[in-house]
Amino acid sequence: MYERDFGGYRFATGMLDSWNLQSLGPLTGMTSAKVYGFSLGNQADSTVFDNSQSATPIVAFFPAAGEAHIKRDGRLLSVQAFEMGNHELDTHTLPYGIYDVEVDVVINGKTAERRVQRVNKLFTAGRGANAPLGWQFWGGSVDMDAWHRERGGEQSARKSWLAGVSASGNWWPIGWAATGYGYDNMALVEARITLPVTERVTFNLQSMAASDSSWRNVMNMSATLPGGFSSIWVNQERSAIGDRLRQSSSHNRSIGGTLNFSSLWSPLGSLSVSYSDDRKNGSRYYTTNYQQNIYTGRYGSIGLRLGMQRYSNNGYSSSTGKYVALDLSLPLGNWFSAGVSSQNGYTLANLAVRKNFSDGAIRSAGANLSRAISGNTGPDNTLSGGGWAQFDTRYANGTLNVATTADGSLNSNMTASGSLGWQGKHIALSGRNDGNAGIIFETGLEDSGLLSAKVNGQAVTLKGKRSYIPVSPYGHYDVELLNNPDSFESYDIVGGRRNRLTLYPGNVAVITPEIKQMVTVFGRLHAEDGSLLTDAAVNNHIGRTRTDGEGAFVMDIDKAFPTIDFSGKGDERCEAQLDLSAARGAVWVGDVICRGLPSYASNLDEKGNRHEG
């Protein structure tokens, strides 16, 4: 996708996924498809992805340490690792919209549970009370996938035109957004309102209607009670699908909340409960969690976790999972947990350890072990375990997981992410991926060389000949290059120390500073016959110094020009080439011969002072 801002307007064109079109406004009626098109509007600071969580939390129960695999339309969107217990999945990286995902709970390489859950991520433009009306026109061509109707029959894959207009604004205190669009010979309208009823109660409503008689209503309300004692949320979705829209109908409702007993009495903990009911498919589940800190002292802390999750489907199948665990946190980033869980007719004893590291490529690592202590495990092994490591390197960051499978073999997976910046002949990589704009630093340092860059006051380490830092678009950046406090080397940044940049989506700026690597050199200077150059003025291309009565000298030298020279009275001249290829910071070069000067004599003038010649 190509984006450009000009005069407060934004133009974008290229290929998008229909999941991303919600950056234009409420657009839940689009099918899963590729879109080739354009948009033009005054949303000059809009972004492609929304980083908020689902309004309806997705909670999974883990009878032992394992992974959650989140899929949509058969595409794997996320892999997340968890310890034993109930855990809310992180949905901030998922596309926004209203859609179903398939959640697989994978324990020891085997899918312990598979469930379809609803993601409800309502895009919020965040326009203030005094902001002008936001608008966008957009259109193009859409490639739609084949679709199986709920009432039978199949809609074949096909291409269609696409056109629409989106707008958003604020009628204080109501924030609103609306979209009108058409594709596949359908006309659709959608609207969303956000109403802060009080300082602690917020109400959201999003609706869709289509010319094929399809409709959808989604209501969400959240509230926080005074004193930080409790919070509650309620969500309901109802939809019906007509003859052309390639989606499934829905009838979901859920409610949940948290009671923070510690606000009443500090030794108590917090209780979280939730209930979800998929009335269309006849499935429902209940989740309860309780957490309490038992002890905190100089040697660490001890916490208690216990919970339950019950799932049922039309009365034909049901399962109940329970767990209780003690978590021990120790100084220096150490963590240990021991607990018991029950699911599928047998009980597991669980042990887990974790350690965090402040330096190095491995930032945290852990291991877990589970053993069945009662009940019948069937064909599964009674003992299983695994380990994981979270890494953060110069070019990539991610997680490596290894676990035993139910039949005793090994299962492993790795997720890694990073960024590539490319501007003309300049290409660089980064393990960070927190923006679709960036800065390449062409420092020309040796591979072990370190510098620091302050980007809007945030310090970032630069290493080697070039480094890439991804940043958010639509921003102004003040960049200053400094010596790194962890570096053995000292650098003189002659040019390009300070830069001011404005970056838009896809922009990659290149900073090429003029840098001199400085080495502090200690030595003793001799003429060719071994006589010492005492009280002599010696030079290099950036400065000068004077030897003492023993011919010793100290001076800073640019590593790229490791030459010193002496010029005396008459034709007394010589030069010494220093070997600084392996020098870092400061180096003793020993006895140095100044070539071109056969001998040196130090004379006294009439006042007893020494002089060269």
Q: What is the pLDDT of residues 86-128, one digit of tens each?
A: 888 888 878 777 788 899 998 877 888 888 888 877 655 445 4
**Domain at 462, CATH number:** 2.60.40
Question: Based on the structure, what is the number of domains in the chain?
Answer: 3
Distances (CA, A) of 609 to 283, 497, 572: 101, 44, 19
Asked whether residue 157 falls in the same domain as residue 39, the answer is: yes
Q: What is the torsional sign of CA 305, 69, 25, 147? A: negative
**pLDDT given for residue 48 in this prediction:** 39
Q: Is residue 547 part of a domain?
A: yes
**pLDDT given for residue 125 in this prediction:** 47
Please determine, for residue 523, whether its predicted confidence score (pLDDT) is greater than 90.
yes
Q: Is the pTM of this model over 0.75?
A: no
Q: Is residue 446 part of a domain?
A: yes
Q: Is residue 586 part of a domain?
A: yes
Asked whether residue 479 falls in the same domain as residue 531, the answer is: no
Contact 557, 544 (CB under 8 A): no
337-363 per-position pLDDT tens digit: 888 888 777 788 888 898 988 878 898
Asked whether residue 475 falls in the same domain as residue 579, the answer is: no
Q: Is residue 114 part of a domain?
A: no
Asked whether residue 429 falls in the same domain as residue 573, the answer is: no
Q: Is residue 562 part of a domain?
A: yes
Q: Is residue 560 part of a domain?
A: yes
Q: Is residue 399 part of a domain?
A: no
Q: How far apart are the first and last CA of the chain?
A: 72
State how far the Cα of 18 lies from the Cα of 32, in Å rounded to an integer: 6
State how far the Cα of 112 lies from the Cα of 67, in Å rounded to an integer: 10
Asked whether residue 552 falls in the same domain as residue 607, the answer is: yes
Sheet holding 450-455, edge to edge: 458-463, 450-455, 475-483, 498-503
The residue among 60, 83, 59 whose CA lies nearest residue 338 is 83
Asked whether residue 487 falls in the same domain as residue 574, the answer is: no
Which residue has better confidence, 32 or 515?
515
Which residue has better confidence, 64 or 199?
64
Asked whether residue 446 falls in the same domain as residue 568, the answer is: no
Give the domain-ending residue among 495, 512, 529. 512
How many whole angstroms from its chain centre is CA 203? 30
Range of the domain at 577: 517-611
Asked whether residue 260 falls in the same domain as residue 178, the answer is: yes
**Domain at 524, CATH number:** 2.60.40.2070
Which helix (H) or strand (E) element contains residue 587? Answer: strand 586-593
**pLDDT given for residue 605 in this prediction:** 47
Q: Is residue 530 part of a domain?
A: yes
**pLDDT given for residue 542 in this prediction:** 83
Of the candidate ranges 15-19, 231-235, 298-302, the one whose mean pLDDT is the lowest: 15-19
Give the domain-ending residue among 512, 538, 573. 512
**Buried b / exposed e along 71-108 (16+ C-beta atoms within 10 A):** bbeeeebbbbbbbbbbbbbebeebbbbbbbbbbbbbbb
555-613 per-position pLDDT tens digit: 988 888 899 999 887 778 899 999 888 787 889 999 999 998 888 876 444 444 544 44
State how far the Cα of 403 lies from the Cα of 62, in Å rounded to an integer: 15
Contact 19, 50 (CB under 8 A): no
Residue 49 pLDDT level (bands cut at 50, 70, 90): very low
Please determine, for residue 161, whether its predicted confidence score (pLDDT) is greater than 70.
yes
Contact 477, 439 (CB under 8 A): yes
Q: Where are the beta strands (DSSP E) in 108-200?
A: 110-121, 134-144, 147-148, 154-155, 158-171, 174-183, 186-196
Residue 282 CB: number of other CB atoms within 10 A? Answer: 12
Asked whether residue 424 falls in the same domain as residue 454, the answer is: yes
- What the block records as the tokens of 212 is 């094929």
Query: What are residue 113's DSSP bridge partners?
Result: 105
Asked whether residue 487 falls in the same domain as residue 580, the answer is: no
Give the domain-ending residue among 254, 281, 308. 281
Of the candidate ranges 4-18, 181-195, 280-294, 415-429, the one whose mean pLDDT is the lowest: 4-18
Asked whether residue 473 falls in the same domain as residue 579, the answer is: no
State how far the Cα of 15 lies from the Cα of 4, in Å rounded to an integer: 15
Asked whether residue 186 falls in the same domain as residue 249, the answer is: yes
